[in-house]
Chains A and B, each alone.
Chain A
Amino acid sequence: QKEVEQDPGPLSVPEGAIVSLNCTYSNSAFQYFMWYRQYSRKGPELLMYTYSSGNKEDGRFTAQVDKSSKYISLFIRDSQPSDSATYLCAILTHTGGFKTIFGAGTRLFVKA
């Protein structure tokens, strides 16, 4: 079983739609849960992170973690064409070096 599973998409939505992106993970020892945005041939850009179950909101973005079902989500409200990118979920493990494990990334297209 993969440590972090994420549907690669692509996901295509009209402008203004609510987008839901999801990941599952296998190791309950994971500590931090992150969402990064990656534009083509660029580095991952940190969007949000949390360490507890529940919701965390930042503008149009809401990160949700359910530790009991090992499920994390990112919701994007009022999606814009500029949100078109690959969204990476990532989990930070508390090993000797705090290794980050990434999901495959979901490619999102927001159509104007």
Chain B
Amino acid sequence: EPEVTQTPSHQVTQMGQEVILRCVPISNHLYFYWYRQILGQKVEFLVSFYNNEISEKSEIFDDQFSVERPDGSNFTLKIRSTKLEDSAMYFCASKIGTSDVPRFGSGTQLSVL
């Protein structure tokens, strides 16, 4: 069965550094998402992306965050200047269309020191 692929599985960075988290959504999917889960807390929506633009974002997704689909297969989340509180598991998800639901990748554990 096709899967959403995320790299790296674990990223360690220093506070204030930029990080880019990478995702390869399922190949024929059209809607793309980023979520995060702080340890012991619920999965939280960050942003949705469709037709090469952001369609919705949460209050967490401030100016420090950006997303990009640089080519036909990759979907990236950039955090411009990481803070300690950005430490979390970040999940990418995709779905094929309006009558589908999101399928999730295995996540990238981001640790900000």
A residues less than 8 Å from B95 (CB atoms): 98
A99 within 8 A of B: yes
Assess A99 versus B48: contact at CB under 8 Å? Given A41-B109, A42-B106, A43-B91. Answer: yes
A49 within 8 A of B: yes
CB of B31 within 8 A of CB of A92, answer: no
State in angstroms the CA–CA spacing of A79 and B55 once bound together.
40
State in angstroms the CA–CA spacing of A88 and B95 once bound together.
18
CB of B107 within 8 A of CB of A100, answer: no
CB of B33 within 8 A of CB of A100, answer: yes
State in angstroms the CA–CA spacing of A87 and B49 once bound together.
26
Q: Which size class do B's interface residues fall under?
A: 20 to 34
Looking at A52-60, A61-69, A101-109, the stretch in contact with chain B turns out to be A101-109
Number of interface residues, chain A, beta carbon within 8 A: 24
A-B CB contacts (within 8 Å), total count: 64
Digitize A21-37: 1 where CB-to-B-CB distance is under 8 Å, 0 elsewhere: 00000000000101010
User: Which of A32, A45, A103, A104 has a CB less than 8 Å from the CB of B104?
Assistant: A45
Digitize B22-43: 1 where CB-to-A-CB distance is under 8 Å, 0 elsewhere: 0000000001010100000011
Please give the distance in Å from A105's CB to the nearest CB on chain B: 7
A residues less than 8 Å from B6 (CB atoms): 43
B interface, CB within 8 angstroms of A:
4, 6, 31, 33, 35, 42-45, 47-50, 54-56, 58, 89, 91, 93, 95, 98, 101-107, 109
A interface, CB within 8 angstroms of B:
32, 34, 36, 41-46, 49, 88, 90, 92, 95-105
Chosen A-B contacts, 6 in total, with CB atoms closer than 8 Å, are A41-B107, A43-B106, A49-B101, A96-B56, A100-B45, A100-B102
